[in-house]
Every structure is written in C-alpha cells, then in structure tokens.
Amino acid sequence: GEDVEQSLFLSVREGDSSVINCTYTDSSSTYLYWYKQEPGAGLQLLTYIFSNMDMKQDQRLTVLLNKKDKHLSLRIADTQTGDSAIYFCAERGNTDKLIFGTGTRLQVFP
Amino acid sequence: DSGVTQTPKHLITATGQRVTLRCSPRSGDLSVYWYQQSLDQGLQFLIQYYNGEERAKGNILERFSAQQFPDLHSELNLSSLELGDSALYFCASSQTDSNGYTFGSGTRLTVV
C-alpha cells in the first residue's frame, strides 16, 4: 500500500540546522518530493530527488534518500525564521499521483 | 503567483448545499489534480484529470464530482454538504513529464 509518515513537529533555534524525516512504503516510488506550506498559502515545491539517487543538494537544502529503508530526509542549513512552515514529503509511484505525508510543522525560534 | 488559479478563495455555505470550485491550470499543463486538506486527515488525493479525461481516483466521496473542460480548466462539485466537508481544497497541475506539481493557493470551504 501507499503510506507516507512524518513526525508532526520540529522546533529549532535560528542558525541551527533542521532535519525533517519521512518514511514511505511504496518501493516503486520513482520520485520523492519536499513541499513547503506557509500559513494561508498553497504548497510550494522545494526540491525533489529521483529514486536512483541518494543525495541532492540545492543551496541550503540537502535531501538524503535511503531506498533500502525507504527513508527520506530534508536538511535545512542555517535555518531562518522565514523557514517556519509545514513541510510535506510526497512520493510518486508508477502513476502520476503524489501521496503526501502528514506534514511536519517547523518552528524556528530566535 | 504559481500559475494555477483557484476561485473562489473562500466560501461559506450551509449544510445540504452544493458548491462548485474552479481551477485553471498552469499554461501548458494537461493534468489537474484535486486534493482536500483538513486538520485531521492531512492532504488527501481526490481525483486526477488528464486532457479532459479522468485518470485516477482517490478518496473522493460519491457526493463529490469533478470534470475537466476542453480549455483544460477543471471544476470540483461538492453536493449535500456536511460540516465535515469544511476544509481547504487544492488544485494542482503538471505536465506529463513533470517532476512535480504546481499548486494553487486553495479554496477554503466552511460549511455551517
């Protein structure tokens, strides 16, 4: 079946790194995504990783994929207050639809 | 502006009523997806259309229906509304070879 799980909350100090974790169950996932949702807004695609990669870096964002354990993580370096939001991971299997996790609420405090 | 337009932004209606939510996909995108976001259920996939035809169906209630028109805009119809239908409804679009969806800003439906 398709299921994506995330921890619900993460609180970090400004300037520290944040690591948001996600586990998924569909071994046929082709792409995995990270989306950001700010209050009152839609979901914004942050980054994605193809399933045959194990790492992708994009400025302050680093995505790590452990396909064996079906574990995905998003690391945000030098976290800022503007990074406070809900972060969703999502998997895309062999159909077009994305299955989203429950979202992790990141709170950044000064 | 993501390029995906959803109207209206907010909707308040009474139980038992019917509403229509509208979505215009990003230019060039053939696929439209509808999602429901509620506090206790997270983001739930409802339905996907590709170039006017239904492609995939998720946890969509029988009281809900959707369609995609020749100009590729899509409408989600919600009928016999219940209090539990109160949620954010998102539309997203993608190209066939896209690596992700582009989301609209959503329609917040409140059923009273």
| pLDDT number for residue A1 | 55
Average pLDDT over residues A11-21: 97
Average pLDDT over residues A76-104: 90
Give residues with Cβ within 8 angstroms of B54, minimum separation 6: B47, B48, B66
DSSP, res B33:
E
pLDDT digits (tens, 9 = 90+) for B31-54: 999 999 987 768 899 999 999 999
Pick from A31, A42, A101: which is nearest to B106 by CB?
A42
Pick from A35, A41, A97: which is nearest to B33 by CB?
A97
In angstroms, the CA B4 to CA B25 distance is 5
In angstroms, the CA A98 to CA A4 distance is 10
| pLDDT number for residue A40 | 80
pLDDT digits (tens, 9 = 90+) for B28-37: 899 999 999 9
Average per-residue pLDDT in chain A?
Answer: 91
| pLDDT number for residue B98 | 54
Residues of A in contact with B100 (CB under 8 A): 31, 33, 45, 48, 98
